[in-house]
């Protein structure tokens, strides 16, 4: 009977106290929270970088499309002017006194 009591005492003595359990759990919990916070921060940084890259790409695409549209419109005006044998400057309604370079522009236009 004494040996069974000794075993019981030893078993009870090996069980950690409630305070020690709380300390261990709080350490694990804090480590878990910090680990999850780091992961969430990394994910947010990646999402932010992706958003910035997409916005920059959209701006670049819009600018390229605008430049292409302007070039096409100017080219159409030049082709229409050459087809109709009218100088491009007549479409802008600039008189001879205002633009001394009209002959050079008309020559360039004729090319």
Query: Residue 4: which pLDDT band, with cuts at 50, 70 and 90?
Result: low
Tokens of 13: 């003595």
For residues 58 and 71, give the distance between their C-alpha atoms in angstroms, rounded to a whole number. 20
Lowest-confidence range among 16-25, 47-56, 66-75?
16-25
**Is 37 or 105 the better-scoring residue by pLDDT?**
37
Give backbone dihedrals phi and psi of 97, rounded to 5 degrees, phi first: -70, -30
pTM above 0.85, yes or no: no
Q: 109 with 88: CB under 8 angstroms?
A: yes
How many domains does one find in the chain?
A: 1
Residues 6+ apart with CB under 8 A from 91: 77, 81
For residues 106 and 92, give the distance between their C-alpha atoms in angstroms, rounded to a whole number. 13
pLDDT digits (tens, 9 = 90+) for 66-97: 999 998 888 887 777 666 665 554 444 445 55
H-state helical runs in the chain: 2-14, 18-83, 88-92, 102-110
Q: What is the mean pLDDT of the chain?
A: 73
For residues 64 and 57, give the distance between their C-alpha atoms in angstroms, rounded to a whole number. 10
Query: Residue 107: which pLDDT band, with cuts at 50, 70 and 90?
Result: very low
Q: Which domain holds residue 65?
A: 2-110
Tokens of 76: 């159409």
**Is 29 or 99 the better-scoring residue by pLDDT?**
29
């Amino acid at each position: 009977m004494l040996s069974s009591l000794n075993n019981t005492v030893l078993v009870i003595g090996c069980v950690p106290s409630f305070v020690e359990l709380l300390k261990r759990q709080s350490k694990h919990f804090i480590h878990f929270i910090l680990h999850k916070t780091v992961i969430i921060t990394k994910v947010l940084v990646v999402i932010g970088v992706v958003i910035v890259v997409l916005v920059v790409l959209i701006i670049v695409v819009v600018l390229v499309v605008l430049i292409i549209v302007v070039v096409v419109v100017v080219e159409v005006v030049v082709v229409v002017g050459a087809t109709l044998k009218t100088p491009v400057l007549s479409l802008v309604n600039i008189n001879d006194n205002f633009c001394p370079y009209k002959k050079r522009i008309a020559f360039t236009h004729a090319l």
